[in-house]
Structure formats: C-alpha cells, structure tokens
Amino acid sequence: MSEVNSPWLIVGLGNPGPDYAANRHNVGFMVADLLAERIGGKFKRAQKAQAQIVEGRIGAPGPENRRVILAKPMSYMNLSGGPVSSLRDFYKVPVSNIVAIHDELDIDYGMLRLKLGGGDNGHNGLKSMTKAMGADYHRVRFGIGRPPGRMPVADFVLKDFSSTERKELGYLVDRAADAVECLMAEGLERAQSTYNS
C-alpha cells in the first residue's frame, strides 16, 4: 500500500482516567476528542491495543479525503509506545503517517509547532514512542510554557490549566485540530507555514 493510500494514525498523548482529564499533559487527548467529534465518531476500546480509537475519514470528499485512526493510548504517558506500535502494525500505517499531538514545555502557552522527527525533549510519551518505532513520525507540539518559580516540571504538567489559560483553551485546541487536518491534507510545509507560531 503506497503512503498516499495508507491510513493515518493520529495519536493524542495523555493519561487515562478522570483525575488527569483536564491536566496540561492531556492536551493531546483534548485535540483527539475534538477531531473525533468533527468526524462524528465516539472512542471505543481497540481490540488489538491498549488504546481507545475512532476510525473515520478526514477532509473534503475527493483526493484530500484521508482514512484516519484517531487513538488515545490507555497505558499512561510513559508507556505510549506499546499501544501506538500495535496500532501501527495492525492498520499497516507507515511511520511517516503517524502524528503525535502532545504538550510542549519549551513553547509558550498556546503556540503550535509542527515537525517531522527529532528528539523527545524529555517528554515521556515521545520517548516511549521513539523507543518503540524510531523518531520519524510527525509531532504537533502544543505549547504549555515552563512552570512558574521552582515548581517541578512533573507537578506542573499534571496540574489543570489555569483559569486564565482555560479562557483560550477551546480556541487553541480547535486550532491544533485544524493543524492536524492541514498536515494530512496539504503536507507538513503548508501546515508549518500556516500554523507554526
């Protein structure tokens, strides 16, 4: 199957369970939830992996319409690679058609950066994915900024967005979902020039 005809695997990174749902670390899940809503799907447990998935199509009818598997690993962040590589194998997705949506400390809140490959920058979800299948997948990096003062990074990412941040969060998640759709339909360069901030 050529990469043009291959499905895309869009992975929102986060931690399962209601205690984590609104954490900064779970912004990948938030974007995946919105994409599922856009295609009219509901997440269900995957048969072949420790993940929840939605299958559908993204894009206008025609050549830009892409088959997509949206996934939320249910393994906790630092073990995301196992479920993602199982889904990749089951659906026969080339690594270049995998997109990880994740929180990024080194970018200001709400800024987006799209890229292909690279390091994990200390992000445990990316570290696990890269260990499982190499680094040549796409990333949609959603800026959450650095922790204030001397707050440890682990505490910061596992806290909910602040009330000020939440005022814009819906708009920013929407924009990140748009960026994923643009990446799939029009390619990385176009998505970068439109959404990298």
Q: Cα separation of 191 and 6, whole Å?
A: 19
Buried/exposed code over 63-96 (b: 16+ C-beta within 10 A; e: otherwise):
eeebbbbbbbbbbbbebbbbbbbbbbeebebbbe
Just list the catalytic residues.
25
Q: Cα separation of 63 and 59, whole Å?
A: 9
What is the residue-level pLDDT of the chain in tens, covering all 197 positions? 446 678 999 999 999 999 999 999 999 999 999 999 999 999 999 988 999 999 999 877 777 788 999 999 999 999 999 999 999 999 999 999 999 999 999 999 999 999 999 999 999 999 999 999 999 999 999 999 999 999 999 999 999 999 999 999 999 999 999 999 999 999 999 999 999 97
The SS3 of residue 125 is helix
The SS3 of residue 109 is coil
Q: How would you list the strands of the sheet with 112-116, edge to edge?
A: 44-45, 51-58, 66-73, 8-12, 98-104, 138-143, 112-116
Q: What is the pTM of this model?
A: 0.95
